[in-house]
Structures are given as C-alpha cells and as structure tokens.
Structure 1
C-alpha cells in the first residue's frame, strides 16, 4: 500500500530568532508531524525565551509577493496563520485567501500575550475576527478566546473605529465557561474552535473541538515544565499538517496532543535559554534514532485511550480498503458467491487454530492474573466457539480445501514471530487488530443483514455484544501496556499493530481471487 502524500503546509507568521516560537517553531512542528514546511514572514521579531524586545514589520506589498511566489508555484495543502500584527497585514492575507482558497486554514489568533498585554489594536482585532469565515479551525488561548467571544457579540465586528475600546468578555475561569465562549465564536463565524484548557490552573489539561453545538472533548494531564515557549504556534501548525493527512479534526487533535505532550516531557533535554524554554519538537525522532541522553521515559506522554486511538486513526486507509473489497461488499449485501465464502472460512479455520496458540502465549506472558485469564478465555473461544461455526458451514461441503493460502501463512508467521519473543506488550499489540477490525466491520455489516441473508449467522457472531465487550477489554489492555512501555517498545507495539492490520486487509482480499490475466 502506498503511503499518503507529504502535506505541503505554508506558515504565515512572524519570526523568533531563538527558534522556539513563530515561523521557526511552525517549520519544526510541520516537519515533526510529517509535512513539508514553507513560510511567508509577516514580521521580524527580536525575542528570546524571556520575551519580545522589538518588532519590525516589512512592507505589506512584500508579504503579498511572498504569498504569491509560493502559491504560483506550489500546490498548498494547508495554511497555518500566526502573528499578523496590523490591519493592513490582516487585509493582505485575507485577500490572498479569497483568491487562492487553500483547502485547510488554521488560525492561531496572536492577540494577547502571556502577560495579558493586548498585541493588536481594536481595529486589527476586528479585522482578524472578520477573517474567520475563511478559516476552518481557530486555536485561541483563553484570553484570546475571550476577545473573540466579545467581538462575537458585536453586530458588525469589522466596523470598530480606530482608537475605540477593545470589546472583550472576561477570560473563562473554568472549563464550562471556556466551552460556552467557544460556542459563541463558532456559531457567530461558522468556524471550528479548538479550546485549550492548559491555562485553567488545574492538574488537568483538557482540549475540545467546538463546532456549533457539536462538542468533542479530549482529556489530558498537565506536564509540569516551564518550557512552554511556542506551544500555541507548535500545536496549530501540527493541526494544519495532520488535518491535511487525516481529513478528520478529531483524529488530528488526538495525534497532535500526543506529539505535543511528548515534546513537552522531553523539553528539558534541549537546555535552550534561561527563561521559558521551547518544546522539543523532535523528541520522538531523537529517541528512535538513539540520539537522546535522557533516562526519563515518555511513557506518560499520552493516556491509554489516546495511544490506541492514534493507532486506530493511523490505519484509516487500511479500514477504508477493507470496506471497499469485493468480499466485504458482497458479504454485506449477501451477493458473495458461496464458494468464495466457504474458501474464506476454510482459511479462517486454519488461522484460528494457530491464532489460539498465540493467544495462549499471551496468557503465559501476561503480568496479571486478570489479563492471563482474558487471553486464555479468548484462546478457548477461538477453538470452541468460532471453529464450531466453521465446522457448521464446512462440514458437508465437497471439495473444501484446508491447504493454507500464502496470505494465511504470512499472517500466522507474523503472529508467531511476535509470540516467539518475550515482549508481552508487542505480542498483544499484534493480536489486537483481529479483535478490533472484525468487531468494527462486523457491527457495520450486521446492520445490513436481513431475513434470508445467506450469511446472517456468521455476521451475528461478530456483532454479538459479548464480542464487543471482549474487544473493548483487549483495547484497554493494550493501551495500558503501551502507556507504561519505554519509547522503543511502544514504537515496536505500533509497528506490530499496523503490520497485523495490513495482514487483515490481505486476508479479506483473498477471495474472490482475481482472474488470471490473459496471455499475450
């Protein structure tokens, strides 16, 4: 399967010569999340880890020349907008957006400094708010969210005269208040708002995506570090990059949170500056390359649910590929040829026999009696339950073959290799797709079953609530194992999970077999 194309992401923002924020941070974030970064400079900023010293704004005509030079030549997949600074700059970027219409636009509205100082005058703030209908996602901090919420209450926010007072709501003091302000902004300008709860002063660090009345929340734990310079820049550019790849805001935020948390946890390795230092954008890359000297593992970088959710999102292409296979579409509507279904079941029977052995190996390696019992019960179920169903279908069928298909052999070899080692986490990660992909596909296929459907009894097995409970249990076990695993082992778990998912796709694709090409 070919990999997804590398997203081409343009950052429109100011600079940071110390490298922790602005365009420099954006380019690192884009690269760390798998994109190709480009940049158009709005302002030259003299700053470091202690703060901003001065700002030089080049002529806006030169900014437009930068934007045109990129878009005239490069197909842009996503745009991240950061510091704009003046009404003229906002208008210039807005005009370019209207003409080019990039497919994804993320705005980090640089309006209020960490100190609480307003960085834009009222006219520029109003102009920035007026640009929101051209934006897909806006990522304000709590102070900036309050400004936007105040402007959302204005009848014509772009008509604020120069020198007038800044319309604003008070910054939210709790999570419910932040979500309420986000809904106001989202509904006013039809934009998705990424609400960030990191500045609420609690041990939790939740985030949420607010799209009108729709709310998707993401729990998180605060990382205790001073190295937060450029976190807003880095998160917004990561979101632009990941969204260009995922086309799913929730999946993109889940991945961005995992990456940023890892970058914060490893930030002490950098030793940059004596103030609020930068995040370590390439912490994961350094660790995998053996370039990290730190002894602290990043096992707490994400919650178990975030880890497994990230893995699930990463195989979205495989899941879509399974749904599109002739075997699956024919199974769904009952048009699949019986011979093809029986040939598949014969291979599945062979697979389940050895799969049960690998489940038993997981039970042997399990660190707790509870997990030992779960894997042992699953092994028993593979033999006594599902194989009985296959015997029911295959028992009287003439000519049914039980010779292993090369695809079956390859999958079993992969699982056997995982079971031959001593890493329990890697083994259970390799086992998980057989639970998760079948449960996911089975529940959706079962909704299309109907009286007289020829394969209803088989579909009933994978749509059974008991199988859903077993799948949820397997996901939880694997997630906990990943959350407590060292970096290298967690990476091996992810590879094992992805490889098993690819084998599942190939397994579903065995039948009907493609016809031989005519000889030339």
Structure 2
C-alpha cells in the first residue's frame, strides 16, 4: 500500500457457510484488494458449492442495530450491498443509507438465481427499486438487469448496453453491464451512465466450473478499489484483472463437489501485491503524454501527415525500419518462447510472422532490391534495448508494446488528417487498418494481464522497459535531417547530393 490509507469497506449481505459467496466472499475480496472489511449480516443461508437449501432472515431492526453500531464508531469509505431477502430488510438498509450522505455504494442486486428462479417477492422487488436512487453503482447480471427494467433478458452485448443505459437514466446511477452470461469466448464488462458508456473492458472468458461467488467478489473488489484509487473506470479495470487471475487459478483450490469458489488470495499466495493503479497500462500511457506530444511535433511526423516529407527521408526511415522489424520479429518469437500459457504464446508467435510479412509487403515494395544499409546508432540502440529485455517475460513484453501502441495511435490520427494523394498513404493505411487496431488491442490486453500478475519489483521493471522503448520510438522517428539538426536525436546522419540519407558505419 506504500503508506496510503487503507480504506474501510462495509459489506451488507447474506452469509455463505461454504465461504465462496456472500459475506465471506466479500471479506476475502476486500482484503485481497487492499481494504479493511466489515460486515453487517442481512441473512443466514444453508448452502454449499452444490446449492442453497435454506435461508433465515434476522429481524430488520437487528440489522439496523449492526449498521448503527458500525457507522457510529468507524469511518466507512465505501459500502457493498448484496443479498437483501425481504422488503423489511431492504427498507432498513434504505433508511440507514439516508443517514450516510455522500457514501459510495455498490449494489449487487440478488434477484434471480443461476437457474433462473426469482428470489424476491413482489414487495421486496419494489423496495429494492426504492433503494436504487441511493446507490452509486449497481452490478446486475443480465437476468437481474432485465428484471429491474421489466424487460426480456438481453442476449447480445449491444442490447445489454442499451438496457444498462436505460436503468442508469431511470435511477441516475452507474450500471456495471456484465457479459459473463452471454455466449462467446469474450467476457465484456462496461460501466454505463445515463449518458452512455464510461469505461469498457473485455478479455477472454476463463473456462472454469469454479465461478461460485463471482458477482459478490467483483462488486466488493469494485467498491474497495474505488476507495483506493478514486476512479470507477480504473477500479473496474483493476477489479477485472484481479478477478481474471482469481478465476484462472480457482482450480488450485479443492473446495466441494459442485461449483467451487474463485481463488480470492491467489495473488497474495503467489507473493504479489494488491491491485494497484500502477499496474494499469492506462497510467503508463498517460505517463508518456509529454513524449507522445514530442513525437507529434516532429518534422518527420508532420511531413507524413501532409505528404511533404522528402522522399529521401522516407527512404531512409523505411530502410532502418526494415532492419528493425527483422530483429523485432526475433524478439516477438522470444516472447512466444517465454510466454506462460498457450494463448500468449500464440499471440506473440503470430506477431513475429506478421512483422516479417510487414517488411516484405510494405518495405520491399518501396525499397526495391537495394542492399541493406548499416543500422543507424539510433536503430542499434533500440534493438539492443529490446534484446537486453529478454531477461524476463514481463519485461520483454512491456518493451515490445510501444511498437504496437504508438504506431497504432500515430497511424490512426495521421490517416484521419491526411489529404487525398498523400504519397505515404500506404504507410498510413497499414498502421490505421482494422487488422492493426485488433492486433494492438490484443497486445495491450495481453500485457495488461501480465502486469496484473506481476509483483512490485516486476511491475516497476515492466514500466521502465515500456518507458525506455517509448523514448527509443521518439528517437527512431526523429532521425530526419531537420529533426536531427534541431537536436531532437543524437544520431549523426548525412544526406548525399541526390537527397538520399546515408548512415555512418558503426
């Protein structure tokens, strides 16, 4: 936590004696995500991994007593609400929340069971809707989202987002739209407000039968991580990364013969820290905002945008880029060798092949059959950095990422601003294509998962590698004569009488 204040998170929910859902899952999730958990028990259940066979609801005034005892003594930074079984219990929570203005509240509405059965009586559902205006974020599954609106359950992601926006507008809340119950290999989630999507995160579905308590765990993690970082979008990204790991390692537990729990403490038991904003790649990207602005100001980039870049300058750049891509392909192959799972191995291996194809299709078509030049000092420095980064898989993929992300960002914006007849349209099209967008998104998602798995030391090394590669990208683009003359890059270069750029021997 690095000296940061540990947030106090209150869970109001039912218990699960098997430990996988309800209050027990909430407390584990809160602790795993760096918070101090408190619990006011709204119901007692008889259940295990195979199902629920009984529910006992204590008197509502007893729940009110628990809530008043906690709030009268302890600072509450966020509240997570789960199972509230009766209208009287819901009204008790609603009344107490009215005495806690400004408190962030995450509601995981328990309306529909996994089998599709409605769990609340009509009067309790009506009371739950009266609670919604006091909530900050509501996290229904697709069946619960439809029930809250009185609509049929959505079967596609666009329809889920539409329902989430309608619910958000009706009650002036944020809605966490969840795609976990939809068909397909991707599992999207999105925070949706009355004005549309605020943040969207997607990733591959984890194939595991051990998903008991997933909704409880995600909503508790969301409340805790918001209290730590102060941003709901960042909290969602962090919570998703944590839960992805907890699901992927759930098979390591041996709990019950039904749907087992997620592995809440997998990161802790592996020696890793609680989810931190430092692990979010969005913070890495924001951290190089100044460098990205410097790239935009380069003569080379401006010349690509309006087509005024001298042909000799572009010829030099392409020759160096062809040299770069050859070694870059080897580096991607090395990442595939080091990757810990088949999905990441396949992604980096495909990237290695793609880098060679890019060299053949784009570079050779412009460079012709001319021999390879010597690598410039700038090119050599970048490649040496990449080759030296293969001491660990996390550091290597972090070093690789800027070549995807910066090129995609630059190519997309330059292509949008380019005018017809631009002589460099083929280069701009290559880096603004849907295929390159898809590859870049996959690279970001892959490295993000690696960052979520890293410990504090590894995460710091990853970020340094990412930032160093980004600096090398700036230098690589800044090799034109005008940029070099302006002191934007240290590598010396010469231009011959024909306007072609020569490279000093190393």
**How does the TM-score come out when normalised to structure 2?**
0.64
Alignment correspondent of 1:278: 261
Shift of 1:179: 2.7
Q: Which position in structure 2 is the counterpart of 1:188?
A: 170
Deviations 1:362-395 (A, max 9, x none): 77644236558999x9xxxxx97999xxxxxxxx
Summarize the alignment of residues 101-500 of structure 1 with structure 2, pairs less than 5 Å apart: 101-150=101-150, 169-215=151-197, 216-288=199-271, 314=280, 365-367=331-333, 368=352, 419=388, 422-423=391-392, 425-430=394-399, 479=444, 482=447, 494-499=459-464
Secondary structure class of the residue paired with 1:47: strand
Alignment CA distance shift 1:489-1:95 (3 Å): closer
SS at match of 1:40: strand
User: In structure 1, what is the Cα distance between the partners aligned to 2:122 and 2:94?
Assistant: 17
SS of the residue aligned with 2:391? Answer: coil
The residue correspondences of 1:38-57 to structure 2 (distance < 5 A) are 38-57=38-57
Quickly say closer, same or farther: Cα 1:359–1:70, change in 2 above 3 A.
farther
Q: 1:239-289 CA deviation, whole Å, 9 max, x = no partner?
A: 111222233322222222222222222212212111111111122333347
2: CA distance, partners of 1:468 / 1:205: 26
CA-CA distance at 1:233 after TM superposition:
0.6
- 2:284 and 2:391 mapped to 1: Cα distance? 28
CA contact (8 A) 1:105 1:136 kept: yes
Residues 1:76 and 1:501: Cα distance change in structure 2 (over 3 Å): farther
Distance in 1 separating the partners of 2:157 and 2:443: 30
Contact 1:142-1:196 at 8 Å conserved across structures: yes
Contact 2:9 2:80 in 1 (8 A): yes
Q: Distance in 1 between matches of 2:176 and 2:445?
A: 27
Secondary structure in structure 1 of the residue aligned to 2:140: coil
Q: Tell me the secondary structure at the aligned position of residue 98 of structure 2.
A: helix
Q: Give the unaligned 5+ runs of structure 2.
A: 294-323, 334-351, 364-374, 414-427, 470-506
Q: Secondary structure at the match of 1:52?
A: strand
What CA distance in whole angstroms lies between the structure 2 residues aligned with 1:474 and 1:224?
23
Q: Which residue of 2 aligns with 1:406?
A: none
For the Cα contact (< 8 Å) 2:401–2:447, is it kept in 1? Answer: no
Q: 1:98 to 1:30 in 2, by over 3 A?
A: same
CA distance in 2, matches of 1:206, 1:476: 14
What is the distance in 1 between the residues matched to 2:134 and 2:188?
27
**Cα deviation code 1:51-86 (max 9, x no counterpart):** 222222222222122212222222221110001111
Please state how far the C-alpha of 1:206 moved relative to its aligned partner.
2.4
Q: Distance in 2 between matches of 1:43 and 1:273?
A: 22
Q: Residues 270 and 374 (structure 1 numbering): CA distance in 2 closer, same or farther, change over 3 Å?
A: same
Q: 1:196, 1:278 → 2: CA distance? A: 19
Shift of 1:146: 1.6
Give 1:101 deviation, angstroms.
2.3
- d(CA) in 2 for partners of 1:53 and 1:24? 18
C-alpha contact (below 8 Å) 1:149/1:182 kept by paired residues: no
From the superposition, tell whether residues 9 and 372 of structure 1 become closer, same or farther in structure 2 (CA, over 3 Å). Answer: farther
Q: CA deviation at 1:183?
A: 2.3
- Residue 241 of structure 1 aligns to a residue whose secondary structure is helix
The number of aligned residues is: 409
User: Structure 1 residues 421, 175: closer, same or farther in 2, change over 3 A?
Assistant: closer
CA distance in 2: counterparts of 1:44 and 1:83, whole angstroms: 10
